[in-house]
Amino acid sequence: MTTRRDFLKSGGALIVSFSSVAALADDLAFAQGPFATQDRRVAAQLDSWLAIGNDGRVTAYTGKCELGQGIYTVQMQLVAEELSVPLSRVTLIQCDTSVAPDQGTTSGSQSTPTNFNEANLAQACATARDVLLRLGSERLGVPADQLTVADGEIRVTGNASRRVSYGDLVGGKKFNLTLSATAKRKTASEWTVLGKAVGRVDLPAMATGQFEFVHNVRLPGMLHGRVVRPPAVGATLVSVDESSVRGLPGFVKVVVRKNFVGVVAEKPWQAMQAAAQLKATWTPGVGLPGHGDFYTHLRNQKPTRDTLLVNSKDVDATLARATTVLKATYLHPYQMHASMGSSCAVADVQGGKATIWSPTQSAYPTRSGSALLLGLPVENVRVIFTRGSGCYGINGADTVSYDAALLSQAAGKPVRVQLSRKDEMAWENYGLAFVIDQRVGVDAHGAIVSWDYEGWSPTLGGRPGYDRPGNVVTGQLAGFDPAPFTARSPAPEPGGAFNNNSNAAPSYVTGCVGGRCGGAGTVKSERVLSHTVKSPFFTGPLRSPARLQNTFAHECFMDEIASHVKADPVAYRLRHLSDARLSHVVQEAAKAARWEARPSPKPNAARTGIVSGRGMSCVVYEGDNGYVAMVAEVEVDQATGRVHAKRFVVSQDCGPISNPDGMRNQIEGGALQGMSRALGEEVTWDDQKVTSVDWRTFHSLPLGFDVPAIESVLVNRTDVEATGAGETAITIVAAAIGNAIFDATGARVREVPFTPERVKAALAARGS
Amino acid sequence: MSTIALKVNGAAHSVDVDPATPLLYVLSDDLALRGPKFGCGLGQCGACTVIVRGRAVRSCVTPVGTLNGADVTTLEGLGTVERPHPIQQAFIDEQAAQCGFCLNGVILTAKVLLDQNPKATDAQIQQGLSTVLCRCFTHTRMLRAIRRYADLPRRSAAGAQADLR
């Protein structure tokens, strides 16, 4: 691990940091060793973005981690581009709390906006380049505007023999630079590395079984832990009989911390045996609301926390005047991350210090949360992000990091914990269930004149952040409370600026708050009222959290309105949009799909057998973080209710594209994951516990289903800021499929997932 | 405990374990291999797949005691970063991965399928992968990578060669 101090010791270096020279002297005084940085000056050590050594190598530090989305490779491209060095000369160190900057959580499609615009990593690179150019100008005696930067050298333009390398410029000197807000980045037209389809640098090692996932971390003397979760939601521990496992081979220890129970053994299989055989007595669970009528429970539950995102205060009057009022209710279940590999972490907690190898999206928050759990000062804890199975949000990564930490602390040795499939699925922080009531008024010309949204969703816990380890199961079992639920009703009037971060407002309203409008549409009469209630299960961000559920309701309802007024769904969307970029991706998707302009459903469709149809949906992700539209073409077998997607056409505008192949990979994965969620994924439970606990009871579409053709239309806009691309496409899939089912059959399915039973029920409910 | 002899990727090993221990733990812990992975422990997802006697075996539910003397090939046994096996190269060429956790099961299952049926149709390949999961849903690229490998000239010879290692 190369730290800033290593660079300084090595002779010369050029370092770009948040803060300045004061930190330098402190750094140089640090002792060596794994915890050398762990003292009160830690903040001064950790503000470095990059360092250029006197060998010309660039080492960059980032707080945005690789989760499978390709951000590691594309950040290397960014560094290589801005500094004009080959990729092979770049080393990128990600999300290690002893050396990398605290960039919070890698989530919300925020890595690209954060590190690829005029701040942070990109700006640090520009700062370094700016200074190197000035140094080169002095050294060569030539004005900067007559110099070219290429291949890690400053060259006199038109006279390549006059040149000086970064390494020579750095020499034996120390340059400690503060991030400059004015350093100029390269324009996209100058890019030769960024913006190109550079292959993932980690793929060869992954494809050949050489890559070290956190699951593969092995430490000397490491033991293996297994947790024993309660048998029912809300059950608390009465007693544990350690003698039930004491004689088992390899058994080391039973660990109890309030309601947290785990076992430690020498080998994983031994730990599994011990966990299975441990006699623990628990109280009965608290009982769960019925799964069958959960949506009724959700809608009627009290107390609520109410929020008005937008309220033009004329909605009821406008609806009363409207020619037609349309209503519909949309239902979305709890879904889960259900990572391919159950979550795993390795912790070494000894002598009052802790190191945790964790697949968390939140290295620094996990460090703080672990410190609370372990009763250690935060500076004595180091979290080293180590790649896990794809998470798509807060899967078991944070909770298993706590598991490993607690077990290691008790055992006094390094402990590796990998959750069982069931423990992963039964206790993770689920994606939100939703009930959404939609109501619009339409005038005599078929235009929408008012949009009224009311939604209910349940919450408990979430990301632990820096101080809420109880937001995930391990923390709560160990005695920490989840964030409290604070009721509030009625909702206060909207204040501040319009912020459509959850996409609770449809794209078709003006989004006006305090006289300023931030929506993507034209409908001025608007009300968006959300209720959150307490959830019986932990909840948390799952790829496109709330945005996917809200967009499902908005984009299906838009289709219903278009059908009611007998308008083409694409033309009707465009009629109500004011945002040029959103309109553009809608048009691009329609064009690429050879969209046939006509109202849905398809005229004269057969009422039996297999029929086909197409559906459109679109969104501005988070209101301002990526534009996407999709056409889905499906076949519906009206005898079985099975839906078979044939083709997805996706058009996406995320500003300047950093890596087109990476963006396509995210679109394709998002489209198919969205399809799996739309067609089959649902958390289920009985009166005591979750029952969707493996791949037989939670249905993820395998590789062996008829995969639809996916066509991505990339809109590359280099004149605007870069936005995220990881969660855009998935947001609109359920609606596009639902609309295509309607187009094919005239049947509207308003509840996800679109199981054959629900499709058949909707078919049966069609009028004659 | 009992002593089990295994030949893994061409190298002979002797491990002293409870014979009920699933092969996966012997491979990933006793032998520190990174290819086979724990996904579910139930044989439902494919992440733990290895090749034994030319067949794709789910090592998370296969007691090592049933494999005494067996020849086991893991993902690392096919090729290296420097010299990937053609099917590994096909996945690299197609950029067919996101998080990469499932790659082991996808690549080995597809390889065995194509070793057994070199002329497999797309439908047969999909059928053969009907119990293999990828939660990042890199399906499109993975199926393209498998097709690319299947269409390579003299593929069966290259595959057979790797299996002899």
Q: What is the pLDDT of residues A665-724, one digit of tens each?
A: 999 999 999 999 999 999 999 999 999 999 999 999 999 888 999 999 999 999 999 999
Q: Are residues A413 and A485 in the same domain?
A: no
How far is B56 from B110, CA to CA, in rounded Å? 9
HSE on the CB side for B161, CA within 13 Å? 10
Residues A82-101 pLDDT 10s? 999 999 999 999 999 998 99
Residues of A in contact with B81 (CB under 8 A): 204-205, 208, 210
The yes/no answer on whether domain B86-164 falls in CATH 1.10.150.120 is yes
A38 pLDDT more than 50: no
Residues of A in contact with B102 (CB under 8 A): 340
| DSSP notation for A461-496 | ----TTT-GGGSHHHHHTTPPPPPP--B-SPPPP-S
How far is A233 from A536, CA to CA, in rounded Å? 8
Two tokens at A207? 């494809």
B103 near A CB under 8 A? yes
Whether A669 sits inside 8 A of B98 (CB atoms) is: yes
pLDDT of residue B154: 66
Q: Are residues A177 and A228 in the same domain?
A: no
- Of A148-162, A168-182, A690-704, A731-745, the range with the lowest mean pLDDT is A168-182
Residues forming CATH 3.10.20.30 domain(s) in chain B: 2-77
Interval A115-126 mean pLDDT: 91
Residue A347: name the closest of A306, A407, A296, A392 by CA: A407
Helices (H) and strands (E) in chain A, counts: 21, 28
DSSP symbol at B41: S
Confidence grade of residue A30 (pLDDT, cut at 50, 70, 90)? very low
Peptide bond into A86 cis (omega under 30): no
Give the CA-trace dihedral at A83, A87, A89, A91, to 10 degrees.
90
Residue B74 is nearest to which of A209, A224, A702, comparing CB atoms?
Answer: A209
Mean pLDDT of chain A: 94
- Which one of A138, A165, A200 terminates a domain? A200
pLDDT of residue B138: 98
Q: Which amino acid type is present at position A476?
A: Q
Please tell me which residue of chain B has the smallest CA distance to A418: B38
Whether A208 sits inside 8 A of B78 (CB atoms) is: yes
Calculate how close chain B gets to A726, using CA atoms only, in Å: 11
Residues of B in contact with A216 (CB under 8 A): 28, 32, 34
Residues of B in contact with A694 (CB under 8 A): 40, 42, 44
Give the ipTM.
Answer: 0.95
- Which one of A200, A231, A251 terminates a domain? A200
Whether B133 sits inside 8 A of A211 (CB atoms) is: no
A748 pLDDT more than 60: yes
Residue A209 is nearest to which of B34, B40, B142, comparing CB atoms?
Answer: B34
Best B40, B59, B122 member to test A by mutation, with max A CBs in 10 Å, is: B40
pLDDT of residue A19: 63
Q: pTM for the complete prediction?
A: 0.95
Residue of higher predicted confidence among B2 and A423: A423
Whether A208 sits inside 8 A of B132 (CB atoms) is: no
Interval A230-251 mean pLDDT: 97
Calculate how close chain B gets to A14, using CA atoms only, in Å: 33
Residue A435: name the closest of A586, A326, A352, A552 by CA: A552
Interval A380-391 mean pLDDT: 98
Residue A304 lies in a domain: no
Residue A695 is nearest to which of B40, B74, B91, comparing CB atoms?
Answer: B40
**Which H or E run contains A735?**
helix A733-745
B72 near A CB under 8 A? no
Q: Are A200 and B97 in contact (CB under 8 A)?
A: yes
Interval A755-766 mean pLDDT: 97
How far is A386 from A268, CA to CA, in rounded Å? 20
How far is A563 from A600, CA to CA, in rounded Å? 5
Please tell me which residue of chain A has the smallest CA distance to B143: A703
pLDDT of residue A18: 74
Whether B47 sits inside 8 A of A340 (CB atoms) is: yes
| DSSP notation for A307-340 | EEEEE-S-HHHHHHHSSEEEEEEEEE--B----S
How far is B127 from A559, CA to CA, in rounded Å? 35
Alpha-carbon distances, residue A254 vs A225, A269, A342, A436 (angstroms): 10, 15, 22, 46
Whether A215 sits inside 8 A of B38 (CB atoms) is: yes
Residue B41 is nearest to which of A200, A207, A421, comparing CB atoms?
Answer: A421
- Which one of A200, A225, A245 terminates a domain? A200
The single residue listed with the structure tokens 């002329």 is B119
Calculate how close chain B gets to A265, using CA atoms only, in Å: 13
Whether A703 sits inside 8 A of B91 (CB atoms) is: no
Interval A422-428 mean pLDDT: 98
Q: Are residues A178 and A93 in the same domain?
A: yes
Calculate how close chain A gets to B112, using CA atoms only, in Å: 15
Calculate how close chain B gets to A703, using CA atoms only, in Å: 6
Confidence grade of residue A472 (pLDDT, cut at 50, 70, 90)? very high
Q: Are residues A378 and A483 in the same domain?
A: no
Q: Are A646 and A709 in contact (CB under 8 A)?
A: yes
Interval A287-296 mean pLDDT: 97
Residue of higher predicted confidence among B153 and A73: A73
Give the CA-trace dihedral at A363, A365, A367, A369, to 10 degrees.
-140
Cα dihedral sign for A750, A434, A473, A229? negative
CATH of the domain at A20: 3.30.365.10
A265 pLDDT more than 70: yes
Helices (H) and strands (E) in chain B, counts: 6, 5
Name the CATH code of domain B2-77 (choices 3.40.640.10, 3.10.20.30, 3.40.50.150, 3.40.190.10). 3.10.20.30
Q: Are residues A188 and A230 in the same domain?
A: no
pLDDT of residue A677: 98
Residues of B in contact with A208 (CB under 8 A): 75-76, 78-81, 84-85, 88
Residues A557-615 pLDDT 10s? 999 999 999 999 999 999 999 999 999 999 999 999 999 999 999 999 999 999 999 99
Interval A192-205 mean pLDDT: 97
CA angle A557-A724-A151, nearest 5°?
Answer: 155
Residue B84 is nearest to which of A208, A215, A421, comparing CB atoms?
Answer: A208
Buried b (16+ CB within 10 A) or exposed e, A510-536: bbbbeeebbbbbebbbbbbbbbbbebb
pLDDT of residue A706: 86
Q: Are B37 and B46 in contact (CB under 8 A)?
A: no
Q: Are residues A635 and A726 in the same domain?
A: yes
Confidence grade of residue A34 (pLDDT, cut at 50, 70, 90)? very low
Percent of chain B with pLDDT over 70: 93
In chain A, the number of structural domains is: 3
Whether A208 sits inside 8 A of B76 (CB atoms) is: yes
Best A198, A208, A335, A424 member to test B by mutation, with max B CBs in 10 Å, is: A208
- Secondary structure of A11-42 in HEC code, one letter for each residue: CCEEEEECCCHHHHHHHHHCCCCCCCCCCCCH
Give the CA-trace dihedral at A692, A696, A698, A704, to 10 degrees.
170
A46 pLDDT more than 70: no
Q: What residues does A345 pair with on adjacent strands?
A: A417
Residues of A in contact with B90 (CB under 8 A): none
Whether A210 sits inside 8 A of B81 (CB atoms) is: yes
Pairing of strands A353-358, A344-350: antiparallel
How far is A35 from A97, CA to CA, in rounded Å? 11
Whether B132 sits inside 8 A of A269 (CB atoms) is: no
Two tokens at A292? 């069958």
Residue A390 is nearest to which of B101, B132, B143, comparing CB atoms?
Answer: B101
Cβ neighbours around A189 below 10 Å, total: 7
- The parent domain of residue A100 ranges over 4-200
Cβ neighbours around A660 below 10 Å, total: 15
Residues B105-157 pLDDT 10s? 999 999 999 999 999 999 999 999 999 999 999 999 999 999 999 999 865 54
Two tokens at A728? 């855009």
Residues forming CATH 1.10.150.120 domain(s) in chain B: 86-164
The SS3 of residue A521 is strand
Q: Are residues A449 and A398 in the same domain?
A: no
